[in-house]
Amino acid sequence: MKPVYFDNAATTPLRPEVVNIMTEVLNTSFGNASSSHSFGRSSKTLIEKARKTVANSLNVSAGEIIFTSGGTEADNLVLNSAVRDLGVTHIITTKIEHHAVLHTVEALEKAFDISVSYLDVDGKGDIDFTQLERLLQTDKKTLVSLMHVNNEIGNITDIKRVGSLCKANNALFHSDAVQSVGHYKLDLQTIDVDFIAASAHKFHGPKGVGFAFIRKNTGLLKPLIFGGEQERGLRAGTESVHNIVGLELALTLMQEQAETEHNHILDLKKYFIDEILKVMPKATFNGQSGDFEKSTYTLVNVCLPIPANKASMILFQLDLKGVACSRGSACQSGSNKKSHVLSEILSSEDLEKPSLRFSFSKFNTKADIDYVVDVFRVYR
């Protein structure tokens, strides 16, 4: 059995350099960053350096970066604050967002009696910009929440276009950028987005740390977590210094090696598609994941032409062979429910077929793909 990890959209392995620097920080910079003595000041310095690094990568000011426990907390902070503190009474989103957004919006709808509009998506998972523009023409205080890169089907949303529409209609714009930060160069001075969410473990950093970008002058926000004045008073709790430093280095290395790694991973994606079609010519690719221009270079979501009696065992068989992939978001792993994303875009016939997400990283090789494709030969 050869272990092959193709579930990088769920989480990525840490880079060795990140492990090393986190270990060093754990050993030498253990002071509480809120303490006034030298040990605390040392930790505080590391946090503020990391904040500047993240801000510079997005071309924003350091004061607009709030460290969180990850993308889910960042999404919750932004969406709750927008409704509770900024007076948003109307949210526009889609039903193929990550559950960190969908479930938060559902809770806000019940708690604050706001209105929610769900944009239509076509069979490829793309939004209707004409509908978006129409929904934005309202007297209500509106926030649009659309993810940059879909975590299941890889579709890339034109957030620059969305931002321009929002600005023209005096609406706020939030984007869950968990699958894109670190993988794409985002200049937030050229994109009219008010908030984004990001998570370090999607770009070879540690789990348990991420950040929210909150554009200055959007209004006075209040924290979700109370107890201290950390993170500009927006996120109480002793900062996880080693995780924040790990995030900083992981993001820095992603940017330094961006072109080389992007080309390597895109080459793997193209090779995977070519090889799987040789074995299963009738395989199709969900959303835009088979389109190299309209989807992220990091993943493929493939619908396999396999009979139902064989389909139920395919993930089990792959796992026995040491292959890690997924049916969809890791956050719904263990659930018997079908992917909420695929349920919105696939026909009932295609929903009965097995759809698997394979997501790649710098650590994967073509030999890994050959091994996986060979597993599928018995299903022809």
d(CA 289, CA 310): 24
The answer to whether the CB of 75 falls within 8 A of the CB of 197 is yes
Q: Per the structure block, which two tokens stand in for 163?
A: 């931002």
- Strand 142-145 vs strand 90-93: parallel, antiparallel, or unpaired? parallel
Phi-psi region of 93 (alpha: psi -120 to 50; beta: other; left: phi over 0): beta
38: CB partners within 8 A, 6+ apart: 31
Q: Please identify every residue annotated as catalytic.
A: 331
d(CA 253, CA 250): 5
Cα-trace Rg, the chain: 21
Give the closest residue to 368 by CA, choosing from 264, 259, 258, 250. Answer: 264
d(CA 172, CA 167): 7
